[in-house]
A and B are shown apart, each in its own frame.
Chain A
Amino acid sequence: QQKVQQSPESLTVSEGAMASLNCTFSDGTSDNFRWYRQHSGKGLEVLVSIFSDGEKEEGRFTAHLNRASLHVSLHIREPQPSDSAVYLCAMRDRGSALGRLHFGAGTQLIVIP
């Protein structure tokens, strides 16, 4: 069973409308969650790292974490066509020196002008 599940698989929004992406995790073993953006054929760009329940804002990107419901979301304010990309949610293991990341399968975001 995958530790991290993302939804939706694909999302199309109009430029300027809010985009919301979701991620659920299978257990409470992590205290460290990130959202990455990956443009087609490119590497991973970290958008937001969040470590405690509540909200963390980085520019137009806001992450919400609720560990009790095993859920973290990403909201993109005023999305632009340049935000069209795959968005990956990741959780980092707690309690090991490795600190490995577990990734979701990704959400393909398309922003229409």
Chain B
Amino acid sequence: EAAVTQSPRNKVAVTGGKVTLSCNQTNNHNNMYWYRQDTGHGLRLIHYSYGAGSTEKGDIPDGYKASRPSQENFSLILELATPSQTSVYFCASGDLGAEVFFGKGTRLTVV
């Protein structure tokens, strides 16, 4: 069964600290995505990747970096976390012509 696993599921970070959100997929998809979800905005695309070694900026990349070391893994990195980055983050995988599968989300609170 297709699966996208995110870790951690919940995280509290301090302002200025570094945060890494991890995502693993077993779907063998080339494309992976990181979204954040905020009330009134739906899901907005932060970074995406076409495959191992590739990362591209989405619509709201400022303050975030991404890393795709392998087909299965895609990380979102907040080098200097700020309270405005408090949100719920979703990872997804899905090639064109295939369904898109989402992880269960990571709730990040920056204090």
Residues of A within 8 A of B (CB): 4, 6, 41-44, 46, 49, 88, 90, 92, 96-101, 103-106
- Tell whether A43 pairs with B50 under 8 Å between CB atoms, given A88-B42, A100-B45, A103-B43: no
Q: Which of B44, B48, B103, B107 contacts A98 (CB 8 A)?
A: B48
Give B18 Cβ to nearest chain A Cβ, in Å.
25
Q: Which among B44, B96, B103 has the highest number of chain A CB atoms within 10 Å?
A: B96
Contacts of A103 in B (CB 8 A): 35, 42-44
Inter-chain contact count A-B, CB under 8 Å?
50
What is the bound-complex CA distance between A103 and B102, given in angstroms? 13
Check B104 against A42 for contact (C-beta < 8 Å). yes
Residues of B within 8 A of A (CB): 31, 33, 35, 40-45, 48, 50, 58, 90, 92, 94-97, 99-100, 102-105, 107
Check A88 against B43 for contact (C-beta < 8 Å). yes
Check B42 against A43 for contact (C-beta < 8 Å). no
Check B102 against A43 for contact (C-beta < 8 Å). yes
What is the bound-complex CA distance between A101 and B92, given in angstroms? 10
Check B42 against A104 for contact (C-beta < 8 Å). yes
Check B90 against A43 for contact (C-beta < 8 Å). yes
Give B90 Cβ to nearest chain A Cβ, in Å.
7
Check A98 against B96 for contact (C-beta < 8 Å). yes
Check B40 against A105 for contact (C-beta < 8 Å). yes
What is the bound-complex CA distance between A42 and B90, given in angstroms? 11
Q: Which of A88, A90, A92, A97 contacts B50 (CB 8 A)?
A: A97
What is the bound-complex CA distance between A97 and B90, given in angstroms? 20
18 extra interchain contacts, Cβ-Cβ under 8 A, other than A43-B105, A90-B43, A101-B92?
A: A6-B42, A41-B107, A42-B105, A46-B99, A46-B100, A49-B99, A88-B43, A97-B31, A97-B50, A98-B31, A98-B48, A99-B94, A100-B58, A101-B43, A101-B100, A103-B42, A103-B44, A105-B42
What is the bound-complex CA distance between A103 and B100, given in angstroms? 13
Check A96 against B96 for contact (C-beta < 8 Å). yes
Closest to A34 in B: B100
Q: Which of A4, A43, A99, A101 contacts B104 (CB 8 A)?
A: A43
